[in-house]
Amino acid sequence: MSRRTTLGTLFISIAAIAAGYAGAFSKSGAPTWAPWLLALGIPVALGAIMVLGALRGNSGIGALRFPFALVILILAIGFGAALALPAADGPVSKLWLGLPPRAAIVIYGIGLLPIIILPIAYAMTFEEMTLSAADLERVRAIGRANELIERDNAKDPRRSISND
How confident is the model over 122-151, as pLDDT tens digits?
Answer: 888 887 777 778 888 989 999 999 998 888
* Residue of higher predicted confidence among 7 and 122: 7
Rg of the chain's alpha carbons, rounded to an integer?
A: 23
The pair phi, psi for residue 57, each rounded to 5°, is 60, -135
User: Residues 72-121: pLDDT tens digits?
Assistant: 999 999 999 999 988 765 665 688 888 888 889 999 999 998 999 999 99
- The C-alpha atoms of residue 7 and residue 45 are separated, in whole angstroms, by 10
- The C-alpha atoms of residue 143 and residue 108 are separated, in whole angstroms, by 45
User: pTM of the entire structure?
Assistant: 0.73
- The C-alpha atoms of residue 132 and residue 113 are separated, in whole angstroms, by 30
- Counting Cα atoms < 13 Å in the Cβ hemisphere of 39 gives 16
